[in-house]
Amino acid sequence: MPPHAAEPPHATPAGPPAAPVPGGASYDERVWPGPLGWFLAVAAAGLLTIALVPVHPGLAVALGAVALVGSLTFAVLTSPRVRVQDGELTAGRARIPVALLGEARALDRDETRVALGPGLDARAYVCLRAWAGTAVRVEVRDPQDPTPYWLVSTRRPAELAAALGTRQPLDG
């Protein structure tokens, strides 16, 4: 995995925020698993408990509780936050100033599938969660950044694209 996949080269360290998004637009979403994901986390812990009851009931309950806490913690920790605030787009741990972004396009399920398959550029930054079937593709217009675009999972692609808006080309 290229070094920029986790933290793209244009990502900014914590510090003063960039200029606000024109019109004061903002967006904030945590891409949680859907109901089926939460059910499967609980069901896996329940099945482990049931499977271990014949071995030792006390151990079964203890390991089942540990499995439940572990699976729910994993679901929470792997749910990225997607945010447009204070002039920055944040997707998971990566951030980029909105001023360096171009056109943002909301993708439906079919367009997302194509964008992640045959249409994917290997240099793109992808913040994907399989449980969110839709996404937004936003062009990166930083001439020093080899990343051509970001592909970000979201359950509300039209709202995220609207918060990012359409930018004019960078000067220079």
Which pLDDT score is estimated for 25?
56
At residue 165, the pLDDT reads 83
Specify the number of domains making up the chain.
2
Q: Which of 77, 93, 110 is the last residue of a domain?
A: 77
Which residues 6+ apart lie within 8 Å of 100 measured at CB? 10, 140, 141, 142, 145, 170
User: pLDDT tens digits for 64-85?
Assistant: 999 999 999 999 999 999 999 9
Query: For residue 16, what pLDDT band results from cuts at 50, 70 and 90?
Result: very low
- Same structural domain, 108 and 129: yes
Share of the chain above pLDDT 90, in %: 74
CB 9 within 8 A of CB 78: no
pLDDT (0 to 100) of residue 123: 95
Q: What is the mean pLDDT of the chain?
A: 84
DSSP, res 99: G
Pick the range with the lowest mean pLDDT from 6-15, 98-107, 108-117: 6-15
* Confidence band for 166, pLDDT divided at 50, 70 and 90: low
Q: pLDDT tens, 36-52? A: 999 999 999 999 999 99
Beta bridge partners of 138: 104, 150
CB 104 within 8 A of CB 136: yes
Identify whether residues 137 and 70 lie together within a single domain: no
Same domain, 111 and 129: yes
Which whole number is the average pLDDT over 78-95?
Answer: 93
Domain match, 152 and 96 both? yes
- Examine the domain organization and report whether 85 and 72 are in the same domain: no
pLDDT tens per residue across span 116-160:
998 899 999 999 998 899 999 999 999 999 999 999 999 999 999
Q: Per the domain annotation, does 66 fall within a domain? A: yes
Question: Are 47 and 62 contained in the same domain?
Answer: yes
The β-bridge relationship of strands 94-97 and 81-85 is unpaired
Structural domain for 159, as ranges:
81-164
User: 49 in a domain, yes or no?
Assistant: yes
Q: pTM for the whole thing?
A: 0.74
Nearest-CA neighbor of 99 among 140, 44, 135?
140
In angstroms, what is the C-alpha Rg of the chain? 20
